[in-house]
Every structure is written in structure tokens, then in C-alpha cells.
Amino acid sequence: MDKLAVLGCGVVGSGVVELFAKNQALIEKRCGKKLQMAYILDLRDFPDRPYADLLVKNIDPILADPDVTVVAECMGGVEPAFTFVKACLEAGKSVSTSNKELVAEKGDILLQTAKAHNVNFFFEASVGGAIPIIRPLHKCLAANDFSAIAGILNGTTNFILNQMIKENMDFSTALALAQEKGYAEKDPTADVDGHDACRKICILSSLAFGKHVYPDRVHTKGIREVTLRDVELCSRLGYAIKLIARVQRLDNGKILPTVMPMAVEEDDLLSHVNGVYNAVMVRGDGISKAMFYGRGAGKFPTASAVLGDMIEQVQLDHTIPSLTWENAGNSDFLEDLTAFTAERYIRTTAADEMLLKEVFGALKENSVYTEEDETVCIVSRPMNEADVEAAAKTLTQKGVTLLAQYPVLVD
Amino acid sequence: MDKLAVLGCGVVGSGVVELFAKNQALIEKRCGKKLQMAYILDLRDFPDRPYADLLVKNIDPILADPDVTVVAECMGGVEPAFTFVKACLEAGKSVSTSNKELVAEKGDILLQTAKAHNVNFFFEASVGGAIPIIRPLHKCLAANDFSAIAGILNGTTNFILNQMIKENMDFSTALALAQEKGYAEKDPTADVDGHDACRKICILSSLAFGKHVYPDRVHTKGIREVTLRDVELCSRLGYAIKLIARVQRLDNGKILPTVMPMAVEEDDLLSHVNGVYNAVMVRGDGISKAMFYGRGAGKFPTASAVLGDMIEQVQLDHTIPSLTWENAGNSDFLEDLTAFTAERYIRTTAADEMLLKEVFGALKENSVYTEEDETVCIVSRPMNEADVEAAAKTLTQKGVTLLAQYPVLVD
């Protein structure tokens, strides 16, 4: 008999307790072991819930009980989660967390602590909610040398952009609707400005490339400046604007993680990922590419991922070597935005097509759209940031203004 | 040091050897162990290949070497693969197979043999090629009670249907192109008539619902009768015709596996899975739904899946309880096609809309398309097979002929 404990009885924590209670017989069969939900740590009381008698206000009884083999951390934030998780690992208990901030900020330390105590620090729920992505990356695809990962990792911004594309809503109206539906927080900064997606691509980058990537080293741009006009015009050229969290390995072996709105071709499955769903596309030398899709958040989807980790843990008696990465060290394995090159969706004021060809390269068929002799949209040759800046200058000299530009995703 | 062996040096087997050689350092790091490719079983000689000295013509040295901990079976077919795999398991060696025929026909026996000898019988590569689906199903999603799985599990038929949809090719021309490109065999029966997809949905059904499902118990219909006319008209109503392998759990607790062409709504991500790609949508009570997408076949994609299993195995010293299912027993957990109910895309000869409403139920908005006063297409209310038969009879009495019908996928 293994005992389970849950830290934090909020949305996700209560989901873990309830989904476990619902499917306990099935879960025990799949584990090959009897399990018992034994402790729930929360400072609040929940007298009316069926699991009220499991609540404790202090972590000590959990740390002291040798039968507790795995703990779910669903508190969120770096502290006190970090202190509690570290204490659990040091007490020989594996931990499964849904807390992306904790993993993105302290993952390397906690993975080392887990290894030192022959247990595991799991975090399937920290990226993509219900979507199995962490275990597929480090187990199923462990024979692959990865070259890129690109994902829609934030459901709130994907919902907002989707409303703009499908319902012709502007950004503010779509944000208000997302807040009304409970998809966006009252303070939507973490979602809208890309910080949430940034934490998640840091976690995926660290796991795929083996060194901790810190969020503050990642170029991160959100969707506040995306206009309805660009969403519409981009769509005429056959692209959807999506907030893409991405990491690519460059020819020099360094990696370049970014979070920014990008133009995604209609032929690309990511362009059809709608609403609050998330998806992650992975490129490796064995698989070519694979995609994982599902609910990026929510009580039971996230609880499903936490419990999946706990179920694996009760069958293990060692640290999984592939589930780890190193300290960042001097971070010289990271490239910055100057190394980023991509075709661009470009919108300018009225301009001669010959001039645009000169500045942006030979244009592809059907890649020019002119509206009311006022605006021209094109898809450029591959350009880096300096190229775009130089092009904007040249255009200005000819009386043309560069109004917007979004890099085109190649995943 | 663990030694690896590969049975069969065809496309997949040589892929396993070559991908391992390419990424050996990375793989060993992820395993936390040194590995050695030690034996390749094949009756043929390959004197010019770099691994020529590893070739053996008899399985005995593999069985006799105690350092061989995991064996890849990439021979295909039931025999001699079954005899060899069983012998490996009985000798205390885990096996990873890419052979869907073997798993669909003999999976229950081999899983029991593995358990009796404290090793594992892995088969990630047997469904969906490169796509991680077996491990996600039984590990990542192990906290879920599954209700349905629906997938595009055969790349050849998906390529053919895609050519029909996008290029207006008829079935025979598209099949000839698939053969020319090497996507279809000279004798395309196994793909085109749905047998390959059937084996794969049997494997997924067995794993998700815990009892062996044999291919001959599954209603299987291929794509030979799909006409270009229906592909076009279906698309006018907003659906794509895809070969869908599916299993659903009914209210009575029994399961209903099917393989047949279905009409998939444009809003459904499966409708956008194009070319030779495969995808699997899974429904569970925790996750709501999740989808897995990637290359369904090919040398390195399949090798990636086989190696992923081998990498997991060298870290394990026990049978994974969740990776198993029981014998089929009397098979009374299976429902047949009479229990199948779905909305239907329907095509008839010219008919009065009132008559169609009477026979097929209140029609949804935009669900009627009339062409040249000759053909009418509609989407019906949910109907079972008997309902459709009765409707066809009523129509005949009024001088109208039911020309085609495809069930609509709800995944």
C-alpha cells in the first residue's frame, strides 16, 4: 500500500483528489498496487467536502509518514512550493507538480535533489495541461536528436486570437469575453504578454536540449499589439496569426527559444488548433515531426497529468535518467534574437510591387494582396531583424511605411 | 553494459541499427547506461553494410547471451516472429516489436509470457509508427476512464483520400499514384480494405479497455467504394471523408470497434490530417480529449518508436502492470454494428426536401445541397443501420434512390 499526498487544495489539487476517488479501482489495477489518498495540505478548511478529514495545515505529518511515496504539488508560485517540494524529495518522496513557474525557475535544483535521493521530480502537468508531452519527449522519443519544438502553449491567448480570426472581434473585446468565460484572469498580463508560454517553452527546451533555460533569457512578445486588420489580411494570404512558443537548434549547435505571434500556414496543423486547446509540434531526426494536442488547462485535464506521474512513480524505485537536465552554467548555449531568421508577413502603406520585390525578395505566387490601393501585404524572403530594419529604412526613403510584420512559422 | 539485438534487417530493422549508431552517445546519456548493438538476425547477407559482422542466421546465440536484455522484433508476420519473441521473453529478455499483426493476433499470450518472466513486451511502433500513443495511453493517461478512441491509422488510404479531396483524382488514379510513390504495395488489399487499420484499432482497444480484441470480430470496411462525387459533395457540406478506425464504449459498458470511411467535420482536427500522416484522438474522463499526430510509417519514424521502448526497458527490472490486457474470453464485451448510431451524410437522387425531412429527421442549417436538380445531399439525424435500411425502403416507394451514406464522426 502506497500513500499519496496533495499540496494545495485549489482547482488542480481538488481535481487530483476527486479524479483519484472516481477512478481508484482502475488506477490501482493499472499500478498493480493498492493506493490510499492520505493527506491534503491546505491552510483553508473545506468542512463540506467528502475528503475533509484528510486536510492538514502543516507539511510535517506528510514528511514524517514513511508510507507516503509520492506527493502532488498543486500550490503554484515559487514559494512556499519550492521549500515544500525540496523537503519532500529530501525525505525520499517523489513529487509530481503542475507548477510551471516552479519548474522553469528551479527545475535544475529540484531534479538534482531528486537524483541525490533516488526519487523523481515529475512535471508532466506543467506544460500543456492534459497533453502528454514531457514523458513522450524524454521516453518515447528518447532515440531522437531534437532540432525544434513549436507550440501553442497558452489557451487564453489562443482563444483571443481565435475570436479575432473567426468572429472578427478586436483584441480588447476578445479579451473581455475570455475574462467573462473564466479563461483569462482579471490581470491577464501573464497570459497576454507571453510569460506563461515562455515558462513552458523553457521547460521543454531544458528537457529536449539538456540544460536549464531561464525565462528571463528568452525573447518574449505577447499579443497586445495584434490588430484585427493584420489578422484579416494575413488570413487572405493563407496564414493564421498564433502565439507561438518555439525553440530551434541552429547550425552552430546553440539553441534559440522565442515567444511571439507568428503567421502559421493553413497547411500546418497548428493553424487549426482553436479555442483554449494547446498543441506542441516536435522535430527530431528519427520521427521527422510529431504533434501533441489537447486541453492546456482546467481542473481534471491537469489532474489527469499529475495522477499519470504519480501512477508511474509508485511502480519505480529509482530516478529516471532521461528526465533531467543540467544547470545553465554560463548560458552560452543560448542565441538571442539577432540570430533569428524567417520569412515575414509584411504590411505596408500603398507601394509599388517592384519596390517591394527589391526590398523583400522574389515574392511567392499569390503572396501579394492589395487592399483599396491603401495597404499592401506580402510574404517576404527569409530575413533577420536587422534585414527588416534596413528594409523599413529603404521604404521610408521612398515614402512607404512598414505597418506590421510577423515571422512565418516553419515547424 | 546492456546488449541489444534486432530480429530482421529489413526497412525497420536496419533503421533501428542505423538510428542507434547515429545517436548512441545521446541515447546512452538518456539511459544512464552503456549499450552495445550486439546481434542482427537475418537469413540474408549484407556484406557492404558497416554492421555486417553483427549478422547471425540463427536466434540461438541471442537467446544464449545473458547480456542481451532487450530484443527488437522487426520481421513482420505472425511466424516465425511469434516463436522467436516468445523464446526471447522466456529467456528473460524484453522485446520491442513493430509488428502489428503479431500484437493483434498474439498480444495477450505474449503479454502473459512477459509477465511470467518479469520482463516486458513493448509495441509502441505497432500503431502509428513514430507517434507516441501506446505509452501515453497506458502511462500518461492512466488516471482516465476511456470512452472512445478514433484515428486515422493508415497512411496509404489517407494519402489516397487526400488526393481525391485536394486534387480531384478518382480512387484508381490516386491508388496508382500511391503505388508509384511507394506508399502502397503492389497488392494494396491490406491497406485499401482496412485490414491494417483494423489491426491497429484492435491493439488500442485491447490496451484501453483491458481485453484482447481480435481483428476478425471488428466490422471493417475500406475505401474502394468511395467515389469522387461523394468526396466533393461531402466537402460542400463541410466534411472530409476519412478512413476512421474507432472504438467507443456504449452505455451498456460494452465496446464497439469499427473501421470505415466516415465524414469528418472541418472543425475537427482529424479532418486536417493530410497525406501519409496518422493521428489518434483519445477521449477520457480526465482529459476530455487529446490527439497524437505524426508519421505512421517509414524507416526512421518506426525505428524511433522501437528504440524508445528499448531505452525504457534497459532502465527497468520489472513488468509494467499498466502495459497489459486479458484474454478475450467469450468476447461478450464486444458489440457489433447493429449497435452503431451516428448522424449520416446521405446522397439521393432528386427528392423533395419535405420527404427527406420526414425520412431523415429535422435537417441542420446548411445541411442540404442540391446539384443540378439531380442529386441531393443532406446530413441526417442520428440513425443506426436498421434505420438507414428502412429509410432507403421508404424512399424507393416514392421513386427516390439512396445513392450513398457515410456516418459522421463524433470523436
Nine cell digits for residue A344 = 515575414
**Which positions ≥6 away from A308 have C-beta within 8 Å?**
A124, A132, A135, B139, B140, B141, B142, B143
Contact across the interface for A292 and B290, Cβ inside 8 Å: yes
The reported pTM is 0.95
Chain A: nearest CA to B296, how far in angstroms?
10
| A19 interaction partners in chain B (CB closer than 8 Å) | 143, 285-286
Quote the pLDDT of residue A375: 87
Instruction: Please name the helix (run of DSSP H) or strand (run of DSSP E) that holds residue B240, with its range, or none.
Output: strand B239-249
Contact across the interface for A20 and B143, Cβ inside 8 Å: yes
In this structure, are residues B406 and B230 in contact, taking their beta carbons and an 8 Å threshold? yes
> Residue A159 pLDDT > 70, yes or no?
yes
Distances (CA, A) of A188 to A45, A235, B378: 29, 26, 44
pLDDT in tens, A64-119: 999 999 999 999 999 999 999 999 999 999 999 999 999 999 999 999 999 999 99
In this structure, are residues A40 and A31 in contact, taking their beta carbons and an 8 Å threshold? no
**Which positions ≥6 away from B158 have C-beta within 8 Å?**
B152, B242, B243, B273, B274, B275, B276, B277, B278, B296
Cα gap B175→B368, rounded to integer Å: 31
Average pLDDT score over residue span A233-248: 95
In this structure, are residues A141 and A284 in contact, taking their beta carbons and an 8 Å threshold? yes
Contact across the interface for B285 and A30, Cβ inside 8 Å: no
Residues 138-157 of B with CB under 8 A from A: 138-145
Chain A: nearest CA to B34, how far in angstroms?
12
Confidence of residue B343 (pLDDT cuts 50, 70, 90): very high
Quote the pLDDT of residue B246: 98
- The verdict on A274 touching B (C-beta cutoff 8 Å) is yes
pLDDT in tens, B23-72: 999 999 999 999 999 999 999 999 999 999 999 999 999 999 999 999 99
pLDDT in tens, B86-98: 999 999 999 999 9
- In chain B, % of residues over pLDDT 90: 87
Confidence of residue A365 (pLDDT cuts 50, 70, 90): low
Nine cell digits for residue A175 = 479579451
Query: A36: burial class by Cβ within 10 Å (0-12, 13-18, 19+)?
Result: middle
Cα gap B410→A358, rounded to integer Å: 50
Chain A: nearest CA to B267, how far in angstroms?
8
Strand A341-342 and strand A368-371: pairing? unpaired
pLDDT in tens, B270-326: 999 999 999 999 999 999 999 999 999 999 999 999 999 999 999 888 888 888 899
pLDDT in tens, B175-226: 999 999 999 989 999 999 999 999 999 999 999 999 999 999 999 999 999 9
End-to-end CA distance of chain A: 45
**Which positions ≥6 away from A225 have C-beta within 8 Å?**
none
> Residue B1 pLDDT > 70, yes or no?
yes
Quote the pLDDT of residue B220: 98
Nearest-CA neighbor of B298 among B100, B121, B76, B125?
B125
Contact across the interface for B139 and A308, Cβ inside 8 Å: yes
A273 vs B368, residue with greater confidence? A273
N residues, chain B = 411
Q: Which residues pair with B379 in a beta bridge?
A: B345
| B295 interaction partners in chain A (CB closer than 8 Å) | 287-290
Confidence of residue A169 (pLDDT cuts 50, 70, 90): very high
- ipTM reported for the complex, 2 dp: 0.94
Cα gap B169→B228, rounded to integer Å: 7
Cα gap B181→B196, rounded to integer Å: 19
Quote the pLDDT of residue B252: 94
Selecting among B100, B106, B200, B242, the annotated active-site residue is: B200
Provide the sign of the torsion angle of the four alpha carbons A206, A211, A215, A220, taken in this order.
negative
- The verdict on A123 touching B (C-beta cutoff 8 Å) is no
In this structure, are residues B307 and A142 in contact, taking their beta carbons and an 8 Å threshold? yes
Quote the pLDDT of residue A84: 98
Pick from A16-30, A370-384, B213-227: least confident:
A370-384
> Residue A190 pLDDT > 70, yes or no?
yes
| B149 interaction partners in chain A (CB closer than 8 Å) | none
Cα gap A140→B306, rounded to integer Å: 9
Beta-carbon neighbour count of residue A97 at 10 Å? 28
Nine cell digits for residue B103 = 500484437
- Beta strands, E only, B300-380: 341-342, 344-349, 368-371, 375-379
Average pLDDT score over residue span A368-380: 81
> Residue A1 pLDDT > 80, yes or no?
yes
- Domains along the sequence of chain B with CATH: 2-130+301-313 (3.40.50.720), 135-295 (3.30.360.10), 340-407 (3.30.70)
| A158 interaction partners in chain B (CB closer than 8 Å) | none
Confidence of residue A247 (pLDDT cuts 50, 70, 90): very high
Confidence of residue A389 (pLDDT cuts 50, 70, 90): very high
Quote the pLDDT of residue B318: 84
Beta-carbon neighbour count of residue A401 at 10 Å? 12
Beta-carbon neighbour count of residue A65 at 10 Å? 15
> Residue A173 pLDDT > 90, yes or no?
yes
**Which positions ≥6 away from B35 have C-beta within 8 Å?**
B1, B2, B3, B4, B20, B24, B27, B28, B314
Quote the pLDDT of residue B366: 67
Confidence of residue A315 (pLDDT cuts 50, 70, 90): confident
Confidence of residue B368 (pLDDT cuts 50, 70, 90): confident
> Residue A25 pLDDT > 70, yes or no?
yes
- For testing contact with chain B, the best of A118, A304, A315, A324 (most B CBs within 10 A): A304
- The verdict on A238 touching B (C-beta cutoff 8 Å) is no
Average pLDDT score over residue span A282-300: 96
> Residue A322 pLDDT > 80, yes or no?
yes
Quote the pLDDT of residue B104: 96
Confidence of residue B361 (pLDDT cuts 50, 70, 90): confident
| Nearest chain B residue (CA) to A130 | B287
Quote the pLDDT of residue A366: 67
DSSP codes of every residue in A135-156: HIIIIITTT--EEEEEEE--HH
Alpha carbon B394 to its chain centroid, in Å, reads 37
Cα gap B107→A359, rounded to integer Å: 61
Question: Half-sphere exposure of B90 toward its Cβ, with a 13 Å CA cutoff?
Answer: 8
Quote the pLDDT of residue B373: 66
| B22 interaction partners in chain A (CB closer than 8 Å) | 145, 285
